[in-house]
């Protein structure tokens, strides 16, 4: 099976084999918004992937994100587990999420997609879209939940809903579990990579770009492991301290959209403009906000030894060639940030009961094992971590294709 990597889809020549299974372009009748749904692969009739909104969102971006979802699903295939990976999909709306009409645009897009959400597309929040907003719109469209389609392939939908209720009502140290699992997985991937490279957490430093769901939780769990968080970046700028920031205070006081409350900074913390984010010296860099933020223009400024992709597609292929040649490890998005998606399904299908205890154990086990497999394969074949992870995901995708039908 010939497939292009998610972050290279934009520049790839499209072959029939490499194309998505299904693509929809939606044009809003009331505004300039254009929306896309890409179903990259379908297994047992279902594909999974969130919906993002940002001004400038393009069909190629959504294609790349949908391909990433296929890899994030397939890499978690464990024969015998309750969770059998679904296909990968993604929705995207080209519209400013801060515009006063954003929720109305979202509602019209969801109305147009309702038949697919009912039967084919399990979806949820992504950049610029809040799950609570989606959940408020769906009942008016006769949809019970954003993952309604998956009820067709679960043995006991009521038990699945009960586990989901446990999971989504759990709170750990003032932050809800569903906002922690993704970043917890990123932190586990980072710690596994550090072990492979002989980096001691207690003497290591990290900069986190983005302090929302992914960045906030990654910062919490890296700090808990002893890593000094010397820089946090949000849409308003950089906060930094070479001796380490007080992550817990900043986490518990951040805004709903992931902005740091500057009034909670300590005496020796400093502030810099967002554009300075690569100037902070650190061993580990965690991009956890926008796509394409490490590119050919700024890759030379990266001083870290390890980049762990919490965001989707933050490193461009051109930048990665230079980084890899300089010995910088890039732990790819479809491994490092895969825990949120997998966790929803481990809970829904019953591999995990939805409690924080079982959730954290499962995520740590799987993300550590996947990271180790990726490092082993990269070393054996002298290839990049992304190429090694892609090979692992592709093998599992072939297995799923053999074991399960498209519909
Ligand atoms: N939420 C998830 O479960 C999940 C799972 C996998 C991947 N991702 C990816 O992770 C990334 C972040 O998602 P999230 O849900 O944490 O988002 P979020 O909306 O919760 O937080 C985004 C953060 O990025 C900051 N930010 C926005 N623009 C910025 C800029 N130009 N420079 C620096 N910081 C900026 C915001 O201030 C905020 O702190 C996205 O790429 C998303 O696709 C999210």
Mean pLDDT over 339-362 rounds to 97
How far apart are the C-alpha atoms of 79 and 396, rounded to whole Å?
10
The pLDDT, as a whole number, for residue 26 is 98
What residue's CA is closest to ligand 1, atom 30? Answer: 235
58-89 pLDDT per residue, tens: 999 999 999 999 999 999 999 899 999 999 99
- Nearest Cα residue to 129 out of 174, 91, 175: 91
Return phi, psi of residue 290, to 5°: -95, 160
In angstroms, rounded to a whole number, what is the distance separating the alpha carbons of residues 33 and 93?
A: 7
| 3-state class percentages of the chain: helix first, strand second, coil last, to nearest 5 | 50, 15, 35
What does the pLDDT read at residue 217?
A: 98
Closest CA to 130 of 52, 210, 236: 52
279, pLDDT greater than 80: yes
Q: What is the pLDDT of residues 149-197, one digit of tens each?
A: 999 999 999 999 999 999 999 999 999 999 999 999 999 999 999 999 9
Residue 119 Cα to ligand 1 middle (Å): 28
Number of Cβ atoms within 10 Å of the Cβ of 225: 15
Q: CA-CA distance, 12 to 380, in Å (whole number)? A: 27
Q: Ligand 1 centroid to 366 CA: how many Å?
A: 23
Over range 96-101, report the average pLDDT.
94
Residues whose CB is less than 8 angstroms from the CB of residue 67 and which lie 6 or more positions away in sequence, other chains included: 3, 4, 5, 6, 9, 20, 40, 88
First to last CA, the chain: 19
**CA of residue 179 to ligand 1 center, whole Å:** 12
Whether 324 has a pLDDT exceeding 90, the answer reads: yes
pLDDT confidence of residue 175: 95
Nearest ligand 1 atom to alpha carbon 182: 3
| Residue ranges of domains in the chain, CATH in brackets | 6-153 (3.40.50.10860), 178-388 (3.40.50.720)
Q: Rounded to an integer, what distance in angstroms lies between the CA atom of residue 379 and that of residue 309?
A: 20
DSSP-derived secondary structure for 145-184? -TTGGGGGG-S-HHHHHHHHHHHHH-EETTEEGGGTHHHH
Residues lining ligand 1, judged by CB closer than 6 Å? Answer: 126-127, 182, 209-215, 233-235, 258-259, 274, 288-291, 310-312, 337, 340
Closest-CA residue, ligand 1 atom 27, reads: 235
Does pLDDT of 395 surpass 90? yes
Burial class (CB in 10 A: 0-12, 13-18, 19+), 29: exposed
237-240 and 22-27 beta bridge pairing? unpaired
Q: What is the mean pLDDT of residues 383-387?
A: 95
Residue 16, pLDDT score:
67
User: What's the confidence (pLDDT) of residue 2?
Assistant: 67
For 102-156, write each residue's pLDDT tens digit.
Answer: 999 999 999 999 999 999 999 998 888 988 899 999 999 999 999 999 999 999 9
Nearest C-alpha neighbor of 308 from the set 278, 331, 290:
331
User: How far, in Å, is the centroid of ligand 1 from the Cα of 113?
Assistant: 24
- The pLDDT value given to residue 10: 72
Distance 126 CA to ligand 1 centre (A): 8
Average pLDDT along the chain: 95
Question: Model confidence at 11, in pLDDT bands (50, 70, 90)?
Answer: low
Q: Which two tokens stand for residue 243?
A: 């001796």
DSSP string, 46-85: BEE--EEE-TT--HHHHHHHHHHHHHHHHTT--TTSS---
């Amino acid at each position: 099976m010939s497939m292009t990597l998610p972050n290279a889809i934009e520049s790839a020549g499209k072959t029939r084999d490499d194309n998505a299974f299904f693509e929809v372009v939606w044009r809003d009748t009331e505004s300039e918004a254009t929306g896309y749904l890409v179903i990259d692969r379908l297994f047992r009739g279902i594909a999974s992937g969130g919906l993002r909104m940002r001004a400038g969102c393009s069909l190629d971006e959504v294609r790349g994100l949908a391909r990433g979802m296929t890899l994030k699903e397939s890499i978690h295939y464990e024969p015998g587990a309750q969770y059998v990976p679904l296909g990968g999909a993604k929705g995207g709306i080209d519209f400013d999420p801060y515009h006063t009409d954003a929720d109305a645009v979202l509602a019209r897009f969801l109305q147009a997609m309702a038949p697919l959400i009912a039967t084919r597309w399990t979806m949820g929040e992504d950049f610029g879209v809040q799950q609570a907003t989606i959940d408020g719109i769906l009942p008016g469209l006769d949809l019970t939940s954003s993952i309604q389609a998956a009820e067709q392939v679960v043995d006991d939908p009521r038990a699945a809903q009960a586990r989901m209720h446990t999971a989504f009502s759990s709170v750990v140290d003032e932050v809800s579990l569903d906002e922690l699992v993704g970043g917890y997985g990123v932190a586990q991937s980072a710690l596994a990579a550090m072990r492979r490279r002989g980096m001691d957490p207690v003497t290591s430093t990290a900069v986190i770009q983005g302090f929302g769901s992914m960045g906030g939780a990654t910062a919490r769990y890296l700090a808990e492991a002893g890593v000094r968080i010397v820089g946090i970046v949000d849409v308003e700028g950089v906060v930094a301290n070479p001796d380490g920031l007080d992550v817990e205070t900043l986490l518990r006081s951040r805004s709903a959209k992931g902005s740091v409350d500057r009034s909670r900074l300590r005496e020796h913390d400093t502030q810099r403009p967002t554009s300075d984010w690569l100037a902070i010296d650190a061993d580990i860099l965690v991009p956890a906000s926008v796509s394409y933020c490490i590119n050919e223009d700024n890759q030379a400024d990266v001083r870290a030894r390890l980049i762990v992709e919490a965001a989707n597609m933050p490193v461009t292929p051109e930048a990665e060639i230079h980084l890899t040649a300089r010995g910088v490890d890039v732990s790819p998005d479809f491994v490092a940030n895969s825990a949120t998606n997998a966790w929803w399904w481990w809970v829904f299908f019953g591999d995990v009961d939805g409690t924080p205890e079982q959730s954290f154990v499962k995520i740590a086990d799987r993300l550590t094992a996947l990271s180790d497999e990726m490092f082993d394969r990269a070393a054996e074949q002298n290839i990049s971590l992304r190429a090694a992870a892609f090979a692992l995901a592709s093998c599992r995708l072939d297995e799923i294709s053999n074991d399960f039908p498209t519909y």
